[in-house]
C-alpha cells in the first residue's frame, strides 16, 4: 500500500511539474524579445530563435486558436524581414495568405509577400503578380488596396522618379 501511495504521489508531482507547452513557448518568446533588443534587434541569433519558437507555438495553436496562430506568424514574419531573411518572411506570410485566405489578416499577409518580393528580393515580376493577386482577392480591403495599386504603378521606378510622379499628381 505504501508503494502504491508513493507511486501515485510521484505521478501527481510529475504531472504538476509538466508545464503547458503553449505557456512555455509564450514565456520563451517574451524572454527572447527582451534579449534580442525588441524592435531594434541587436542579436540576430536571438531573433532567429524567436522565429523558430514562434513557428513551434503557431503549430501548437493552429487548430485551437487561429487568431493567435496568425498573430504569432505575422510577428515572426515581420521579424524575419527585419533581420534580412526575406525567404523566411515570405514562407511565414504564405502560411496565412494561402493557408487561411478568409482570415481577417490574410490580406495583410498577402500584401506583405508582394512588399518583400519588391523591396527585399527585388523580384518585380513576382511582386507585381502578388499585388495583382491581392487586388483580385481583396479588391475592397480598406488597408492595402490603394497601396497595392500604387505599388504596381511605381514598380521599378527610382525614388527620384517616384517623387516626380507625386509632385506631378500634386500639381493636378
CATH number of the domain bearing residue 52: 1.25.40.10
Q: Is the pLDDT of residue 6 over 70?
A: no
In a domain, 140, yes or no: yes
In a domain, 89, yes or no: yes
How many domains does the chain contain in total? 1
Q: Is the pLDDT of residue 4 over 70?
A: no
Residue 75 burial class via C-beta count within 10 angstroms: exposed 0-12, middle 13-18, buried 19 and up: middle
Using one digit for the tens of pLDDT, what is the confidence trace for 124-162?
999 999 999 999 999 999 999 999 999 999 998 877 777
In a domain, 14, yes or no: no
Residue with cell 481577417: 104
What's 18's DSSP letter? P
Residue 136 burial class via C-beta count within 10 angstroms: exposed 0-12, middle 13-18, buried 19 and up: exposed
In a domain, 123, yes or no: yes
Using one digit for the tens of pLDDT, what is the confidence trace for 48-82?
898 998 899 899 999 999 999 999 999 999 999 99
In a domain, 125, yes or no: yes
Contact 107, 146 (CB under 8 A): no
Q: Is the pLDDT of residue 17 over 50?
A: no
In a domain, 15, yes or no: no
In a domain, 168, yes or no: no
* Greatest alpha-carbon span in the chain: 92
What is the SS3 string spanning 102-159?
CCCCHHHHHHHHHHHHHHCCCCHHHHHHHHHHHHHHCCCCCCCHHHHHHHHHHCCCCH
CA dihedral 81, 82, 83, 85 (to 10 degrees): 10
In a domain, 1, yes or no: no
Residue 42's domain comprises 21-159
Amino acid at each position: 500500500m505504501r508503494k502504491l501511495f508513493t507511486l501515485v504521489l510521484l505521478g501527481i508531482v510529475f504531472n504538476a511539474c509538466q508545464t503547458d507547452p503553449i505557456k512555455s513557448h509564450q514565456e520563451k518568446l517574451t524572454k527572447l524579445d527582451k534579449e534580442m533588443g525588441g524592435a531594434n534587434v541587436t542579436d540576430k541569433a536571438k531573433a532567429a530563435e524567436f522565429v523558430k519558437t514562434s513557428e513551434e507555438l503557431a503549430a501548437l495553436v493552429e487548430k485551437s486558436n487561429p487568431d493567435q496562430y496568425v498573430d504569432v506568424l505575422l510577428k515572426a514574419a515581420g521579424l524575419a524581414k527585419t533581420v534580412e531573411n526575406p525567404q523566411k518572411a515570405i514562407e511565414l506570410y504564405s502560411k496565412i495568405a494561402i493557408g487561411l485566405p478568409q482570415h481577417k489578416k490574410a490580406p495583410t499577409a498577402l500584401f506583405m509577400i508582394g512588399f518583400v518580393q519588391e523591396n527585399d528580393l527585388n523580384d518585380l515580376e513576382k511582386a507585381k503578380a502578388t499585388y495583382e493577386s491581392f487586388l483580385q482577392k481583396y479588391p475592397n480591403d480598406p488597408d492595402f488596396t490603394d497601396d497595392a495599386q500604387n505599388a504596381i504603378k511605381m514598380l521599378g521606378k527610382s525614388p527620384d522618379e517616384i517623387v516626380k510622379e507625386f509632385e506631378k499628381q500634386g500639381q493636378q
